[in-house]
């Protein structure tokens, strides 16, 4: 495939022009494939910077919708084949990234995504006109509404694009990243299965476990997240297209919704089907709130894992120091030799962003009024960001942190042997109260647990060595 930089820009020599729509005439700048409605949106919604731009994933998904619709209409004989072919070629160019600069609109626009829908319609119309040798801006022989938008409303085409974009993001970025992280943690769990260490609850010493057991918990958290995400995917593979304005399917023909969903599934190689109830598909986005909740839950788990690793690696001299993180870059601009847990910090910042995004998606999902939810752009922008961040961060965290983890075995043994909570193994032999007395005396006097136990007279040194064996305290008898 030709790179976008090598693709000849078909708008490079377009002069400024005047276009008109139902609101009147408007000046369109030079070198632009878009038209009036895009220009009006730029004028009416000057909100935010580059961070507020409509995600290109949505634009590409809309281009796929337009292509499938045009080809379908040509097949059933209600659109000229040459027009449909030109629209399909223009859509392919958009999906290849050749025309990215012609999609300048922001997320904060009409809640149905109408401006972005028309932005795509106008670019495809004008590019198709070029392909057919016509005059850009003339709307002939390819009209943005009558041809590119045929059989569609923003109310059903935009949510369809939302679901396509999000499904692709989750399957191509989020799940592979999480699966890589799960594998990395599972491998470390196996590597560390024989390293006995002290456990901690309430950030205080607890009874022993193996480092492998500790990491098995992390791996399980990620595995559960993967399972929940996979179970939620079918709910967002139901497409709204065919509902048109309010869910009735006005201006479509019977079977159109099923046929287009099938075309979209084949083109994307994803299991898309038509939504069984178009009224729900337009008016509510509960499935998106649900999947945002799954991403939010995953973020909670990843935050816990990243925090544990940076605490276990704290130091290296004056912290826990049980683990050593890979030394990827200098950690301080003033303290020589300092190395910080940067991957853990990046991961926890990602988690914070995902949690914040979930709040926005939740509020957005609650904004269905009668036949239409009007927070669609906000919801998809936040969901796409969350899905990408989790996938990218999981991959980076695995490659630049988890895979390079090493264990400071001497420090692990030192801390385990110093713990007073090994006394728990005495409970079955001398009872909780006497064991508690021994632990408190050892702590107050600054002696070892063994010294305090023998001094108590409740057991001998030989019994202490027989009953307190950390490697035998990592599971049920």
Residue 202 among the catalytic residues: yes
Cα three-residue angle 59-383-156, rounded to 5 degrees: 50
Q: Which long-range contacts (CB under 8 A, 24 or more apart) does 45-52 make?
A: 45/105, 45/106, 45/108, 45/109, 45/115, 47/106, 47/108, 48/106, 48/107, 48/108, 52/106, 52/107, 52/108
Burial (CB < 10 A; 0-12, 13-18, 19+), residue 349, is: middle
Strands (E), 31-81: none
**Do the Cβ atoms of 309 and 293 come closer than 8 Å?**
no
Residue 189 among the catalytic residues: no
Euclidean distance between CA atoms 343 and 454, whole angstroms:
46
Euclidean distance between CA atoms 121 and 110, whole angstroms:
16
The residue among 85, 94, 88, 33 whose CA lies nearest residue 59 is 94
The residue among 293, 290, 289, 282 whose CA lies nearest residue 378 is 289
In the three-class reduction of DSSP (H, G, I as helix; E, B as strand; rest coil), residue 143 is classed as coil
Choosing from 52, 235, 332, 443, the catalytic residue is 332
Characterise 435 by phi-psi region: left (phi > 0), alpha (psi -120 to 50), beta (else): alpha
Contacts of 402 (CB under 8 A, 6+ apart): 181, 184, 185, 188, 309
3-state helix, strand, coil in the chain (%, to 5): 60, 10, 30
Choosing from 5, 202, 333, 369, the catalytic residue is 202
The neighbouring-strand residues paired with 369 are 372
Provide the sign of the torsion angle of the four alpha carbons 268, 273, 274, 277, taken in this order. negative
Q: Which residues are catalytic?
A: 202, 332
């Amino acid at each position: 495939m030709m790179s976008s930089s090598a693709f000849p820009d078909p708008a490079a020599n377009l002069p400024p022009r005047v276009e008109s729509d139902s609101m009147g005439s408007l000046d369109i700048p030079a070198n632009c494939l878009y038209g009036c409605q895009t220009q009006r949106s730029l004028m009416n919604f000057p909100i935010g910077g580059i961070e507020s731009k409509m995600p290109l994933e949505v634009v590409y998904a809309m281009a796929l919708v337009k292509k499938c619709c045009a080809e379908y209409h040509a097949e059933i004989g209600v659109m000229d084949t040459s027009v449909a072919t030109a629209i399909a070629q223009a859509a392919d160019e958009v999906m290849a990234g050749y025309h990215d600069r012609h999609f300048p609109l922001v997320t904060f626009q009409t809640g149905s995504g109408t401006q972005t829908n028309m932005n795509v319609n106008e670019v495809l119309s004008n590019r198709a006109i070029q392909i057919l040798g016509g005059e850009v801006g003339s709307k002939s022989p390819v009209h943005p509404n009558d041809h590119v938008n045929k059989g569609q409303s923003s109310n059903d085409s935009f949510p369809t694009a939302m679901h396509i974009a999000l499904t692709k993001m989750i399957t191509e970025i989020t799940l592979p990243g999480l699966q890589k992280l799960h594998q990395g943690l599972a491998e470390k769990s196996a590597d560390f299965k024989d390293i006995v260490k002290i456990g901690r609850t309430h950030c205080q010493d607890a009874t022993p476990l193996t480092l492998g057991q500790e990491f098995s918990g992390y791996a399980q958290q990620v595995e559960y997240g993967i399972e929940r995400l996979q179970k939620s995917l079918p709910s967002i593979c139901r497409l709204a297209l065919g509902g048109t304005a309010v869910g009735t399917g006005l201006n479509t023909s019977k079977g159109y919704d099923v046929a287009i969903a099938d075309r979209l599934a084949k083109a994307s190689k994803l299991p898309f089907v038509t939504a069984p109830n178009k009224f729900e598909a337009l008016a509510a986005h509960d499935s998106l709130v649900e999947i945002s909740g799954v991403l939010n839950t995953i973020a909670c788990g990843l935050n816990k894992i990243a925090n544990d690793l940076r605490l276990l690696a704290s130091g290296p001299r004056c912290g826990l120091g049980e683990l050593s993180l890979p030394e990827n870059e200098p950690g301080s601009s003033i303290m020589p030799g300092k190395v910080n847990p940067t991957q853990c910090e990046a991961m926890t910042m990602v988690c914070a962003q995902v949690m914040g995004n979930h709040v926005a998606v939740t509020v957005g999902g609650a904004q269905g009024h009668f036949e239409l939810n009007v927070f669609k752009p906000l919801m998809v922008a936040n969901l796409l960001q969350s899905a990408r961040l989790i996938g990218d961060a999981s991959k980076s965290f695995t490659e630049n942190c988890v895979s390079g983890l090493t264990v400071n075995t001497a420090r692990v043994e030192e801390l385990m042997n110093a713990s007073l909570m090994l006394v728990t193994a005495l409970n079955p032999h001398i009872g909780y109260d006497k064991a508690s007395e021994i632990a408190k005396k050892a702590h107050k006097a600054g002696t070892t647990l063994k010294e305090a136990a023998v001094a108590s007279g409740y057991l001998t040194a030989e019994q202490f060595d027989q009953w307190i064996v950390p490697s035998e305290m990592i599971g049920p008898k």
